[in-house]
Amino acid sequence: MNYLAHLYLARPDPEAMLGALLGDFVFGRSALEDYSAVERREILVHRQVDRYTDDHPQVAGARALFAPGLRRYAGIALDVFYDHCLARDWSRHCDTPLDDFTAAFYRHLLSRLDDLPPRLRAIAPRIAAHDWLGSYRDRASVDLAVRRIATRLSRNGDRLVACLDDLRRHEAAITAGFEVFFPQLVAHVQALRRDPRYA
Residue 75: pLDDT over 90: yes
Helix %, strand %, coil % for the chain, to 5?
75, 0, 25
Torsion angles phi and psi, residue 116, rounded to 5: -85, 155
**3 state SS of 14:** helix
* Average pLDDT of the residues in 86-102: 97
- How much is the pLDDT for 168? 97
Residue (of 184, 178, 190, 196) closest to 78 by Cα position: 178
Segments making up each domain of the chain, as ranges: 3-192
Residue 155: pLDDT over 90: no
Q: Which of 16-25, 55-64, 87-96, 145-154 has the lowest mean pLDDT?
A: 145-154
pTM of the model: 0.94
* Average pLDDT of the residues in 123-141: 96
In the predicted model, what is the mean pLDDT of the chain? 94
Residues 6+ apart with CB under 8 A from 173: 62, 65
Share of the chain above pLDDT 70, in %: 100
User: Could you give the angle at the alpha carbon of 197 between the alpha carbons of 133 and 28, nearest 5°?
Assistant: 65
- Distance between CA atoms of 158 and 1, rounded to whole angstroms? 21
Between the alpha carbon of residue 191 and those of residues 48, 184, 188, the distances in Å are 12, 10, 5
- Going by pLDDT thresholds of 50, 70 and 90, the confidence category of residue 156 is confident
* Average pLDDT of the residues in 109-118: 95
Task: Read off the amino acid at residue 28.
Answer: G
- Distance between CA atoms of 127 and 4, rounded to whole angstroms? 11
